[in-house]
A and B are shown apart, each in its own frame.
Chain A
Amino acid sequence: MEDLDTIVAAAIKKGADYCDVRFVVNREEDIRVRGRDPEKVSSKIDQGYGVRVLMKGAWGFAAGQDPEQTAARAVKVARGSVLAKKEDVKLSDLTPYTDSWKAPIKKDPFSVPMEEKLSLLLDCGKTLIEHEDVKVAQATMRIRSQEKWFLSSEGATIHQDTTFCGAGISATVVKGGDMQKRSYPTSFDGNFSQQGYEFVEALSLYDHCEETAREAIQLVDAEPCPSGTMDIVLDSSQLALQVHESCGHPTELDRVLGFEASYAGTSFLTQEKLGHYTYGSPSVTIVADSTTPGGLGTFGYDDEGVKACRTVLVDKGIFSGYLTSRETAYQMGEKSNGAMRATDFNFMPIIRMTNINLMPGDYAFEELLEDIQEGIYMQTNRSWSIDDRRINFQFGCEIGYKITDGELTDMVKNPSYTALTPEFWGACDAVSKDWQLWGVPNCGKGEPSQTMFVGHGAAPARFRNMKTGVG
């Protein structure tokens, strides 16, 4: 920590009014099996300093390996920002903490022998590819730890140590001019959690190979999802992504204030709507919670040193909160709720999702179905797209089942639905009690592009009169 003190002191001496510095050490393993063979087995270790300064009301950030040089460059960058300044950047107040925080894990995933991890994935790959129609079988595992020291000129001294891991399998069938894929436990490399290797073991990947391959094969011959207007039920993994795209991103206050206007876009949840706008039905309550045990968005403190907390974003359907930073919270006359995160040492923190959770309801899954005469149950995201204010979206799923008179019946392929965000959440009349936490390690935002790991708790839910079968 001594060199971090030196960096902060050097930046202040060079004219910075505020400085914070992060020293980050990352360790990562990425194991990928394709069919019967390893595709990629890699280990990555990197580290570096990220220095952020505020000088004469303007930001500068530099990343590098040499602490003093990095500090000097951050100040130089801030001098550049001053040249195009309109008003001084001001930060909301914060209590500077001195603390150490470590995410609890039982079984260190890095200590599990590589042979054992690879063997699990190879067994899955072989089992999946043995099905004649399965053209591509994938089994993947990713483990990442991040140790981070944070110091600020306001007196914060924070050390954090986090580890997440996760895994998944998928089978792709190509036949008769069609291609269908099925994944477990969800698509895009599976599920992830801030837990130890016990999380990977609990996924029981091998036990799900047969079902995954069989569903992929059956999908090719299944009927296409019917086009029309009907009730739909979405599984919790699809709802996790739905929450991500249609609630998580539009409640990022930097988007609302226009900071992302040229790239990711802005938000329909503008400030005058806060506290009274009907975002969804009374069944819909969504929170941002960076204290959720096991969440990929769980931490002790964000990258401005703000303590982890829980914020209600949508309260029984009413839009009621944003994800904020010190700079954006100041503009609202509030304190930050701790959503500033940087993927690595070499990125400036920006507002990111933490764990954005759809709160569970009281319904059993069967109760969601029972009064639907004609509908579709959709599982596992395959495709997602939403406009730059997060209103019009279209999602595709891997698999669907017709719901007929309250029962799941025929499998359908290429299920998809499209709607406008407030209409969609307004049509939600029941949320299940079967709540599950999903880890999403590939949320992209910002320039330079930062890939963040975020969490989403969700439960299956029912939506009335949705447009299905588009495209």
Chain B
Amino acid sequence: MKEEYLSIVERAVKTSNADQCEARLSGMSWGLTRFANNYIHQNVVEDNAELTVRSVFGKKIGKAQTNQLDPESIAEVVRRADGIARVQTEIPDFVSLPAPESIPSVKGFYKETAEVEPEARALVVKAAVDQAETLGIESVSGTHYTGKEEIAVANSLGIEAYFEGTVSCFKINTCLEQGTGTAQSFSRNHRDLNPEALTEKACQKALKSRKTEPASPGSYQVILEEQAVCEMLVYLAMMTFGAQPYLEGRSAFSGHLGDQVADSSVSLWDDGLDERGFPFPFDAEGVPKQRVNLIERGLAGNVVYDSFYAAKAGTQNTGHSVDMPFGAGPFSANVFMGEGTSSLEDLISECENAILVTRFHYINPMHRLKTVITGMTRDGTFLVKNGEIVRGLKNMRFTQSVLDALSTVQGIGNNLGILRMEYAKATVCAPALRIGEFTFTGSTLF
């Protein structure tokens, strides 16, 4: 499909009468199987591709999209983008669309993953349900998806970029006598998912969390499993690591690059080429993704840029343009946190009185500049006493500054978990953490 994708974006660019023009074709061909109450209740496949054209007249910019890819529709969407640009007012900080740079190659496509059929996904689900039922689990739910994404970008300055990658996920929730458990994995290669091990893990969680007791709100030592850390870091990335909030003074990094913002054991970076995540070699403008050190041994490192904000700040474009429905500027879509040397069992065994959190639910920012977020625990919250899990806890609400939490890191796990948000094409890979102070502000009834 490479030739077809590139021919469409090149045709769009050539059709435009604008001073500069960019075309991006982003497609997805995938199948997603959802299961609940031990059967498949939603099972979908989708083929769709969207062509986005950005036309530039001087400093005036217009944008138009379509998912109709015949020559007439391509001409129409270009006319629409050109027309919008002509009636725009100038954007003084705009300099130019980006110029071409060499794009590194990265492996992100696995033929077998692209070709998984609905029947194969259904059999994976059936096996997981059978496995869980054998362990006495009452209710099993989750999602299994496989497929491929394609993107081509061209612009009138000579950018010509194409990437084809596969996507896959298996996540499972289990429920027994009000106890719930969860496990999930995401990979470009569906052979890496290991649904059997994930099902076993989720079942064991549910079995352990059947009987729960409430815990009082307050500040606790916590062990956050990989999924919980990934979920927390998504919000840190959103609030802190983009050039837009940074330049506008809305990021905790604004005016603080080089300052100590986390414990010296903490390092975070963005790397679109690391194959442990969801590698993607270029951004929405066709610019190669640079590795950016976000937090380096506890010090605020850098933020990520696209062409507009790099020109505005007079700095290097790091290749982090995204095309989201809202205007949030560049985004760190491939975040990694450096792993440590401890197993999860080690992290637990070194706690006298702590709370073990499997994952969070419904996180939302409370104060972005201070990186304060709130959310609930979910699917396995446990009290740890003298290095042992002693009982399940009712789920708790936390209200906590992420950077404050990262400033009290006491131990880092040796295994990287992964969280992929398909709608945002963003991935976070992070280890489990033992954190000295974490504030719970409430609890719920289950």
Q: Is A96 an interface residue (CB 8 A)?
A: no
Pick from B38, B46, B48, B367: contact of A86, CB below 8 A. B38
Q: Would A385 and B364 count as touching, CB distance under 8 A?
A: yes
**Which residue in chain A gives the minimum CB-CB distance to B439?**
A471
B372 engages A471 (CB within 8 Å): yes
- B117 interface hit (Cβ, 8 Å): yes
Q: Are B67 and A46 in contact (CB under 8 A)?
A: yes
Is the Cβ of B48 less than 8 Å from the Cβ of A84?
Answer: no
Complex interface: chain B residues within 8 A of A113 (CB): 87
Q: Are B36 and A258 in contact (CB under 8 A)?
A: yes
| Interface: A41 (CB within 8 A) | yes
Neighbouring A residues of B36 by C-beta, 8 Å: 257-262
Task: Give chain A residues whose Cβ lies under 8 Å from the Cβ of B34.
Answer: 259, 262, 447
Whether a CB of chain A sits under 8 angstroms from the CB of B113 is no
Return chain A residues, CB-CB under 8 Å to B375. 385
Least CB distance from A375 to B in Å reads 20
Chain B residues contacting A84 (CB-CB under 8 Å) are: 35, 39-40, 122-123, 125-126, 129
Q: Which of B247-268 contact A (CB under 8 A)?
A: 248-250, 254
Contact with A along B346-373 (1 / 0, CB 8 A): 0000000000000001111111110010
The answer to whether A387 touches B65, judged by C-beta atoms less than 8 angstroms apart, is: no
What A residues does B378 contact at CB under 8 A? 265, 387-388
Which residue of A38, A47, A48, A83 contacts B88 across the interface (Cβ within 8 Å)?
A: A38
* Cβ of A464 under 8 Å from chain B: no
List 7 tightest A-B contacts by C-beta distance, closest first: A80-B118, A471-B399, A392-B444, A262-B173, A42-B63, A80-B122, A262-B141
Instruction: Determine whether the beta carbon of A383 is less than 8 Å from that of B374.
Output: yes
> Which residues of B374-390 are within 8 A (CB) of A?
374-376, 378
- A179 cross-chain contacts in B, Cβ below 8 A: 249-250, 367-369
The chain A residue with its CB closest to the CB of B34 is A447
Q: Does A76 contact B (CB under 8 A)?
A: yes
Any A CB within 8 A of the CB of B319: no
Q: Mark B313-333, 1 if CB is under 8 A from A, else 0.
A: 000000000000111000000
CB < 8 Å neighbour of A416 from B44, B182, B250, B366: B366
CB distance from A24 to the nearest CB of B (A): 11
A59-B45 Cα distance, complex, nearest whole Å: 12
Determine whether the beta carbon of B42 is less than 8 Å from that of A470.
no
Contact between B48 and A77, CB atoms less than 8 A apart:
no
Question: Which residues of chain B (169-208) have a CB below 8 Å from chain A?
Answer: 171-173, 175, 182
CB within 8 A of A385: which of B254, B362, B367? B362
Q: A45-B66, A46-B65, A383-B365 are in contact. Are A85 and B39 (CB under 8 A)?
A: yes
B4 on interface, CB distance cutoff 8 Å: no
Please name 24 pairs of A and B residues whose Cβ atoms are closer than 8 Å in the assembled complex, sorted by A.
A37-B90, A40-B63, A43-B81, A44-B64, A60-B43, A60-B118, A77-B43, A78-B43, A79-B119, A81-B43, A83-B122, A84-B122, A118-B87, A136-B248, A261-B139, A262-B142, A383-B366, A385-B363, A385-B364, A385-B374, A387-B376, A394-B397, A396-B366, A471-B367
Q: Which residues of B contact A389 (CB under 8 A)?
A: 444-446
Q: Are A61 and B44 closer than 8 Å at their CB atoms?
A: yes
Q: Which of B44, B120, B369 meets A177, CB within 8 Å?
A: B369
Nearest CB of A to B375, in Å = 6
CB distance from A335 to the nearest CB of B (A): 20
B362 and A388 form a contact (CB under 8 A): yes
Give the shortest distance, in Å, between A46 (CB) and chain B (any CB).
4
Query: Nearest-CB distance from B285 to chain A (Å)?
Result: 14
User: How long is the Cα–Cα vector from A122 to B34 in the complex, in angstroms?
Assistant: 45
| A136, B250: Cβ atoms closer than 8 Å | yes
- Interface residues of chain B, those whose CB is within 8 Å of chain A, are 31-48, 50, 61-68, 77, 80-81, 84, 87-93, 117-123, 125-126, 129, 139, 141-143, 145, 171-173, 175, 182, 248-250, 254, 325-327, 361-369, 372, 374-376, 378, 395, 397, 399, 422-423, 441-446
Q: Distance in Å from the Cβ of B90 to the closest Cβ of chain A?
A: 8
A408 at the interface (CB under 8 A from B): no
Q: A258-B139, A388-B378 are in contact. Are A63 and B372 (CB under 8 A)?
A: no
- Residues from chain B with a CB closer than 8 A to the CB of A391 are 444-446
* Bound Cα distance A439, B413 (Å): 44
CB-CB < 8 A to A259: which residues of B? 34, 36-37, 41-42, 141
Given contacts A58-B40, A118-B88, A420-B445, 18 further A-B contacts (CB under 8 A): A37-B93, A41-B84, A42-B64, A60-B43, A81-B40, A81-B122, A84-B40, A84-B123, A85-B40, A87-B39, A136-B248, A174-B248, A174-B254, A348-B42, A392-B442, A394-B374, A446-B42, A448-B423
Q: Secondary structure of the B side of the interface?
A: strand
CB distance from A308 to the nearest CB of B (A): 24
Central interface residue in A37, A38, A84, by most chain B CB within 10 Å: A84
Q: How far, in whole Å, are A79 and B47 apart by their CA atoms in the complex?
A: 19
At the interface, yes or no: A148 with Cβ under 8 Å from chain B?
Answer: no
Roughly how many angstroms separate A46 CA and B65 CA in the complex, as a whole number? Answer: 8
Chain B proximity mask over A233-265: 1 for CB below 8 Å, otherwise 0: 000000000000000000000000111111101
Distance in angstroms between the alpha carbons of A189 and B365 in the assembled complex: 17
Bound form: Cα–Cα A295–B384 in Å: 49
Binary flags per residue of A197-216, CB closer than 8 Å to B gives 1, else 0: 00000000000000000000
Q: Which of B61, B91, B364, B444 contacts A384 (CB 8 A)?
A: B364
- Judging by beta carbons under 8 Å apart, are A470 and B399 in contact? yes
Across the interface, do B125 and A77 meet the contact criterion of CB distance under 8 Å?
no
Could you tell me the distance in whole angstroms from the C-beta of B81 to the nearest C-beta in chain A? 8
Count residues on chain A whose CB falls below 8 Å from chain B CBs.
86
* Contact partners of B399 in chain A: CB under 8 A: 394, 470-471
- Residues of A within 8 Å of B369, CB to CB, are 174, 177-179
A30 within 8 A of B: yes
A73 partner residues in chain B, CB cutoff 8 A = 45
- Residue A226 interfacial (CB < 8 Å): no
Question: Which residues of A (388-434) have their CB < 8 Å from a CB of B?
Answer: 388-389, 391-392, 394, 396, 414, 416, 418, 420
Cα of A201 to Cα of B363 in the assembled complex, Å: 35
Known: A258-B139, A387-B376, A389-B446. A265 touches B361 (CB 8 A): yes
Q: C-beta contact mask, A258-280 vs B, less than 8 Å → 1, else 0?
A: 11111101001000000000000
Q: Is A449 an interface residue (CB 8 A)?
A: yes
Alpha-carbon separation in the docked complex, A174 to B363 (Å): 23
Which A residues between 52 and 106 are near B, CB-CB below 8 angstroms? 58-65, 73-74, 76-87, 89
Interface pair A346/B143, CB less than 8 Å apart: no
- Inter-subunit contact A42/B84 (CB<8 Å): yes
User: In the complex, what's the smallest C-beta–C-beta distance from A325 to chain B, in angstroms?
Assistant: 11
Q: Across the interface, which residues of A come within 8 angstroms of B88, CB to CB?
A: 38, 41, 118
Chain A residue nearest to B175 in the complex (CB) = A261
Query: Does A135 make an interface contact (CB < 8 A)?
Result: yes
Minimum CB–CB distance from B144 to chain A (whole Å) comes to 10
What's the least CB distance linking B276 to chain A, in Å?
Answer: 24
In the assembled complex, the Cα of A44 lies from the Cα of B35 at a distance in Å of 33
Minimum CB–CB distance for A367 against chain B, Å: 31
Q: Is A326 close to B, CB under 8 A?
A: no
Contacts of B445 in A (CB 8 A): 268, 389, 391-392, 420
Task: Give the CA-CA distance A396 to B363 in the complex, in Å.
Answer: 13
Chain A residues in 8 Å Cβ range of B374: 383, 385, 394, 396, 471
Contact (A392, B397) CB under 8 Å given A135-B248, A179-B369, A448-B46: yes
Whether B362 pairs with A386 at a CB distance below 8 angstroms is yes
Q: Kindly provide the distance from the CB of B125 to the nearest chain A CB, expressed in whole angstroms.
A: 5
Residue from A58, A64, A178, A388 within 8 A of B47 (CB atoms): A64
A354 → B minimal CB distance (Å): 20
Which interface residue of A178, A448, A471 has the most chain B CB atoms within 10 A?
Answer: A471
- The answer to whether A392 and B443 have CB atoms under 8 Å apart is yes
How many Å from the CB of A434 to the closest CB on chain B? 27
* Given A46-B67, A265-B361, also A471-B441 (CB < 8 A): yes
Task: Please tell me if the beta carbons of B68 and A63 are within 8 angstroms of each other in the complex.
Answer: no
Q: Is the CB of B441 within 8 A of A38?
A: no
Q: Which residue of A lies closest to B369 (CB)?
A: A179
Query: A420: which of B38, B126, B444 is its contact (CB, 8 Å)?
Result: B444
Contact B44 A62 (CB under 8 A): yes
Chain A residues, Cβ within 8 Å of B42? 59, 61, 259, 348, 350, 446-447
